Amino acid sequence: MLRRCCASVLARASGASGASPAAYSTVSSAADVAALVDRYDTFLLDCDGVLWTAEDLLPRTVPALAALRDAGKQLVFVTNSSLRSRDEFAQKFAHYGIEAAEAELVPSTFAVAQHVKTHHRHVKRAFVMGAAGLRAELEAVGVEAIGTESIPDAPFGSEPDFQRMAAHCAAEAAAGNGVDAVVCGFDFSWNFKSMTYASLCLQLNPACELLATSRDAFDEVRFSTADGGERSAKLPAMTAVLALLESTTGRTAAVLGKPSAQLASYMHGVYGYDKARTCIVGDRLDSDILFGHNGGIDSVLVMTGTTSREMLAALAPESPMYPTHVMEQFGLLAGAAGVAIPDAAAAAAGK
């Protein structure tokens, strides 16, 4: 059950919760927005499902960001999207007319590369099950990032083909020419041959690391139907490839995007925010909101992305994926700059 209460924004966020966990506060009125903005100095912002969906900017995204900047807030954009490098994300922000310095952007491609640079200095060569942006970030920290072009160009349609591939990987590992890590990010070009090759790299070299940008199961994507209506469907994401690699190797991937505690620690170290006055705004319970919990900061769930009313209603307040606040859409923060707050029905319709 949703609860509207400006005072609850302050009560829950300040830990005045008593014996049992407090219900989340709902941010919907101008007073709620003002209290939320006043409560925090730093806003960590997810992107897809918060600022935009697919290729469409969500309503009032730009004025909401401007309102936060006008109020002197520190903004950091942190996304599990792994198709783009940090530089490419900067170009996407510019395309949307969103003001953001490159230093404010933390895509999971960048997060993985920074983790490798700091914690896996022995990784000199990596097989990348991911897009060009992930390879670019790894190359930027001195890792030779190879992809499907490195797989022997031989037929792969039978068990003997698999045997030849396995013999090749075993020989490479024995000669010290194998890869030090398999790094996974979402990529539309995943295929069975490349996933099998990655599995063999791991199976035949016990020292090979398994790293991933996220464990997101799917993205909820809306599409237009032939009768002029609109529906949504789940686009398979990281769970698909990690299930194959983990089940065939016995490894557990180190996930370095949200909700990892390593990323939370890295970001706190780099941006130096006061955790008590920082929140993350996101649309996913299992990445954004859990990231807030793992990083010791509050969270704001927006309803413009992956999380449905039913998913939210099914959560117990004790869950680490339970948000501190719920807001219909990020654009409501435009009210902080004096822009009129739309009524709830209009907000729900995304108008």
Q: Using CB under 5 A, list all residues that contact Mg ion.
A: 46, 48-49, 283
- Nearest residue to Mg ion, by Cβ distance, number only: 49
- CA–CA dist 202, 244 (Å, integer): 12
State the angle between helix axes of 108-119 and 261-271 in degrees (0 to 180), rounded to the nearest 10.
Answer: 90
Instruction: Determine which helix (DSSP H) or strand (DSSP E) holds 117, and give its type and residue range.
Output: helix 108-119
Token pair in block for residue 169: 């990987």
Closer to Mg ion by Cβ: residue 204 or 281: 281
Closest CA to 112 of 78, 146, 88: 78
Q: Strands, E, within 187-246: which ranges?
A: 209-212, 218-224, 230-236
- CA–CA dist 37, 245 (Å, integer): 43
Q: Report the nearest approach of Mg ion to the CB of residue 260 (Å).
A: 16
Closer to Mg ion by Cβ: residue 48 or 328: 48
Closer to Mg ion by Cβ: residue 49 or 185: 49
Q: Report the nearest approach of Mg ion to the CB of residue 164 (Å).
A: 41
Q: Report the nearest approach of Mg ion to the CB of residue 282 (Å).
A: 6
Closer to Mg ion by Cβ: residue 44 or 202: 44
- Tokens 């990596």 sit on residue: 126
Q: Report the nearest approach of Mg ion to the CB of residue 93 (Å).
A: 15
CB atoms within 10 A of CB 45: 24
Q: Report the nearest approach of Mg ion to the CB of residue 335 (Å).
A: 22
Closer to Mg ion by Cβ: residue 104 or 283: 283
